[in-house]
């Protein structure tokens, strides 16, 4: 038996995580003015069966990515987290247990985010600021906690739908049909079909003239989180678009400078006109009282409940 493999030098990885602190955004979903650049993101890992395969493909292609890791999986597989960052990739926080935030109280949401950051810090030495909720499901309470903890909410503009396991062709078709410059692409490194599809996807991006960049590079030059929402599948992401406000957008994405004209008070309309950033977000995402996400049930499911299992279908 040979000598043990030494731990990789993580100083550069820690520098990248510290660079996340320079970002002034509170919310990032992609850019419309980014040129032919996209960012790859992977949720739910690390997974000992799939994550190494994905890392092998990324290394051969020289493509950077961001892995939104689950704290419990970080504790189980710290060697995979070290490999992720040692090979030049970034980390993001995907909660500790992968519970859906709308089922949790603000205190529990805070515990989930802090728990994942502690797990990541225990392996890498620095906590990330990027955060993505399981299923991309948010409530006003969750937003308040995210901001209080100085995290940057990172959503997606092109969800591969790989968690449905549609086959390699299905993953490639869905990404290709909705691909736009400045996209944040979402995959899951617990889905073996994703590892099979990734080489073909990277080759396709190269042929179409796209450059794969880190999230931080995609964010450069952006001084606010422009709401850029996928129109093709608004409910898959937990994003609830109020159609009466959005209308029928022609492009698959909508930029902040294309916000819908909202009804003003008066003329028989009692709805207040949004005056703050929070009001705009409420109106834009349909987070009004009548469309708010479901609250935590009266009896909280235990951590082994079926809806909270990592292997359940659906979600990011």
Residues forming the active site: 43, 188
Query: Which residue bears the tokens 């205190």?
Result: 107
Torsion of CA 311, 117, 30, 277, to 10 degrees: 110
- For residues 191 and 49, give the distance between their C-alpha atoms in angstroms, rounded to a whole number: 9
- For the record, the structure tokens of 316 come out as 């990011």
What Cα–Cα distance (Å) separates residue 235 from each residue in 128, 163, 187, 231, 250?
A: 27, 15, 17, 9, 18
Contact (CB, 8 A) for 68 and 262: no
DSSP 237: T
The length of the chain is 316
CB-count exposure of residue 247 (10 Å: 0-12, 13-18, 19+): exposed
């Amino acid at each position: 038996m040979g000598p043990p493999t030494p731990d990789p030098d993580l100083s550069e990885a820690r520098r990248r995580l510290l660079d996340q602190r320079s970002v002034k955004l509170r919310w990032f979903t992609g850019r419309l003015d980014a040129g032919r650049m996209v960012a790859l993101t992977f949720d739910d890992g690390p997974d000992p069966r799939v994550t190494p395969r994905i890392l092998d493909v990324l290394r051969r292609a020289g493509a950077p990515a961001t892995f939104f890791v689950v704290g419990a999986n970080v504790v189980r597989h710290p060697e995979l987290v070290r490999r992720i960052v040692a090979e030049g990739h970034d980390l993001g926080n995907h909660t500790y247990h992968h519970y859906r935030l709308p089922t949790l109280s603000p205190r529990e949401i805070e515990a989930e985010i802090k728990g994942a950051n502690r797990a990541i810090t225990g392996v890498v030495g620095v906590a990330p600021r990027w955060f993505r909720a399981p299923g991309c499901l948010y409530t006003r309470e969750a937003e308040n906690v995210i901001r209080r903890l100085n995290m940057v909410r990172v959503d997606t503009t092109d969800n591969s739908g790989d968690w449905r396991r549609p086959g390699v062709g299905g993953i490639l078709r869905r990404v290709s049909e909705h691909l736009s410059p400045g996209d944040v692409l979402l995959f899951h490194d617990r889905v073996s079909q994703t590892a099979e599809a990734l080489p073909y996807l990277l080759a396709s991006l190269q042929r179409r003239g796209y450059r794969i960049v880190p999230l931080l590079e995609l964010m450069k030059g952006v001084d606010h989180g422009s709401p850029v929402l996928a129109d093709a599948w608004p409910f898959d992401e937990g994003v609830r678009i109020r159609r009466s406000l959005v209308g029928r957008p022609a492009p698959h994405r909508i930029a902040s400078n294309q916000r819908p004209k909202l009804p003003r008070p008066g003329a028989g309309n009692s709805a207040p006109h949004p005056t703050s950033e929070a009001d705009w977000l409420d109106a834009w995402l349909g987070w009004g009282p009548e469309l708010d996400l479901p609250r935590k049930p009266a009896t909280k499911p235990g951590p082994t409940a079926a809806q909270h299992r990592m292997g359940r279908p659906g979600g990011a």
